[in-house]
Amino acid sequence: MARITAGVGTSHVPLIARAIDTDKTQEPAWKPIIDGYEFSRKWIEREKPDVVILVYNDHGVAFDMSLIPTFVIGAGESFKPADEGYGPRQIPDVIGCPDLAWHIAQSVIEDDFDITIANELDVDHGLTAPLSMMFGKRGVNDSWPCMVIPVAVNVIVYPTPSGRRCYELGKAIGRAVAAFDQDLNVQVWGTGGMSHQLQGARAGLINQEWDQNFLARLADNPEEVADISRLEYVTEAGSEGIELIMWLIMRGALPQRVKELHRFYHVPASNTAVGHIVLDAKAD
Ligand code: DHB
Ligand code: FE
């Protein structure tokens, strides 16, 4: 049977990926951030997940105002890095896991989560920056060390789903994986955040106290975190801070009791607070 062994929460700031791609990781702006992921890079080398279900948001690249799906699952054989304006990143294509993706789609739709199935999907920094942060630099002729099932969430155009809805979808994904009849080590990653606002009168907003509180409660008090309202995300964590609802899909997919293995928080990266957490599904 497939089993979810761990969850990872991480920001997906594109400039961190850019620093990795251009060998700037030892520069003063980036070194503390890269160092904050050192534990996780070593940990995941030992864990060797077969599949990562990677929850992220597209930033107006694969989806725009012409099509705004709330939840999407990528069921293709592979996914190309998207061109976000400067040409695609020179990194490997992402290899999917269609059998498990279709199984999850069937199972969560049976559970009344009407997710959209995408067989073709270019993946932007929301998905590819975390891969670089967790697995390190890869060139276009390398490969990523595991299969990836993209799960895209609309956090760009209102109305977005609620944190509670994301948490419940995570639980449905957890049930789906547990019922999949292949022996796979599966991780779920939630990406985005932490507090940031990239435009408008409050551009540059960072709320360290609120972020730290979110991180502190995620492992042991997920129900409380799931109750954070959309208004609170936007008011306290900025218009893009609502990306954090995607961490709740990760948390929902894990058991009630988890063990926090690693937590990291740093300000700033680009215009953003960076947060990262690693949760082990085996609590004891
Ligand atoms: C930036 C973009 C993001 O999508 C994000 O989540 C954080 C920061 C940026 O452009 O700096
Ligand atoms: Fe983002």
CA distance 159 to 177: 28
d(CA 256, CA 126): 27
- When divided into structural domains, the chain yields a total of 1
Residue 228, domain CATH: 3.40.830.10
Residue 271 CA, ligand 1 centroid: distance in Å: 7
Given the residues 125, 262, 266, 276, select the one marked as catalytic.
125
pLDDT band at 284 (very low <50, low <70, confident <90, very high): low
Q: Which helix (H) or strand (E) holds 211?
A: helix 208-218
For 27, 138, 163, 237, 264, the CA distances from 23, given in Å and listed in that order, are: 9, 11, 36, 31, 22
Is 59 noted as a catalytic residue in this protein? no
Domain residues for 49?
A: 3-280
Cβ–Cβ contacts within 10 Å for residue 267, how many? 15
Q: How far is the CA of 240 from the centre of ligand 2 (A)?
A: 7
Ligand 1 atom closest to residue 59's alpha carbon, by position in its atom list: 4
Please tell me the predicted confidence (pLDDT) of residue 282: 83
β-bridge partners, 81: 123
The overall average pLDDT reported for the chain is 97
Q: How confident is the model over 10-35, as a mean pLDDT?
A: 98
Whether 262 sits among the annotated catalytic residues: the reply is no
Alpha-carbon span 10 to 6, nearest angstrom: 13
Confidence of residue 200 (pLDDT cuts 50, 70, 90): very high
d(CA 53, CA 45): 17
CA angle 264, 278, 211 (to 5 degrees): 45
- What is the value of pTM for the model shown? 0.98
Centre of ligand 2 to C-alpha 134, Å, is: 17
234, 239, 244, 245 alpha-carbon torsion, rounded to 10°: 60
Q: Which atom of ligand 1 has the smallest separation from the CA of 271?
A: 11
Cα–Cα distance, 144 to 33 (Å, whole number): 21
Nearest ligand to the CA atom of 195? 1
The confidence score (pLDDT) of residue 95 equals 98
Residue closest by Cα to atom 3 of ligand 1:
13
Q: Residues 135, 98: contact at Cβ < 8 Å?
A: no
The average pLDDT across 249-263 equals: 98
